[in-house]
């Protein structure tokens, strides 16, 4: 007796492939949730960063408007609309947004590491007199008498459990020096880039 299924396999297989080329409902839900999360991350991001971000104006405006909504239910509805707007973006636009957010995270980690380094340097100034000598050799413009007084006062604050006024002031001096160094380095980089452009002419 001939097999009724014989010869039908080729026909059915193309139907099978077509069926499974499209993303499953689970995959579509996962993609939708990921874009919703991305939109929420943008709403929670600092406003000035969002303003500078490269994305269509209509999407950016919805995100900035949502940041102003304080009412819980209103914000929840607005976030859903943000998710809908995110789903209207193409892959290239989404890739730019993801790269920018990754850049923010990298910058935040670098900022945190820099602050920890300043805290360690301040603590070293309190326990190692040589640390002050090193600091003054790097920044001869500093007022040595003022710094010595601050270090003495910070040690006293710690010994007597007093509010850390001098301790904080030392940190602020170190932070200002780091900012000045970063600014000088940035200006030097720009000068180098200008010279490089001039060399091509």
Question: Where in the chain are the domains?
Answer: 20-89, 109-200
Residue-level pLDDT at 22: 64
Fold agreement (20-89, 109-200): yes
Model confidence at 131: pLDDT above 70: yes
In angstroms, the CA 37 to CA 57 distance is: 20
Model confidence at 199: pLDDT above 50: no
Q: Domain 20-89: state its class.
A: mainly alpha
Residue 184: pLDDT band by 50, 70, 90 thresholds? confident
pTM of this prediction?
Answer: 0.46
Model confidence at 195: pLDDT above 60: no
Residues in Cβ contact with 49 at an 8 Å cutoff, skipping those fewer than 6 apart = 104
Model confidence at 156: pLDDT above 80: yes
Residue with tokens 């590491």: 113
Residues 109-200, CATH architecture: Orthogonal Bundle (1.10)
Burial class (CB in 10 A: 0-12, 13-18, 19+), 73: exposed
pLDDT tens per residue across span 11-26: 455 554 555 556 678 8
Mean pLDDT score, 38-64:
90
Which of the pair, 5 or 139, is modelled with greater confidence?
139
Both tokens assigned to 174: 């170190």
């Amino acid at each position: 007796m001939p097999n009724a299924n014989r010869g039908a396999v080729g026909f059915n297989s193309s139907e099978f492939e077509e069926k499974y080329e499209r993303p499953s409902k689970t995959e579509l839900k996962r993609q939708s949730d990921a874009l919703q999360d991305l939109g929420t991350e943008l709403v929670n991001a600092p406003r000035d960063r969002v303003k500078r971000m490269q994305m269509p104006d209509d999407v950016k405006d919805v995100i900035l408007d949502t940041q102003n909504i304080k009412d819980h239910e209103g914000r929840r509805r607005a976030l859903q609309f943000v998710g809908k707007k995110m789903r209207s973006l193409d892959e290239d636009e989404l890739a730019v947004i993801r790269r920018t957010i990754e850049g923010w995270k990298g910058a935040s980690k670098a900022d945190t590491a820099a602050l920890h380094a300043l805290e360690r340097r301040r603590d070293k100034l309190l326990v190692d007199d040589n640390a002050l000598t090193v600091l003054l050799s790097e920044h001869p413009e500093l007022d040595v008498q003022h710094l010595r007084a601050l270090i003495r006062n910070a040690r006293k604050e710690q010994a007597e459990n007093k509010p850390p006024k001098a301790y904080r002031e030392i940190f602020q001096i170190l932070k200002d020096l780091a900012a000045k160094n970063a600014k000088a380095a940035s200006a030097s980089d720009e000068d180098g880039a200008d010279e490089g452009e001039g060399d091509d002419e």
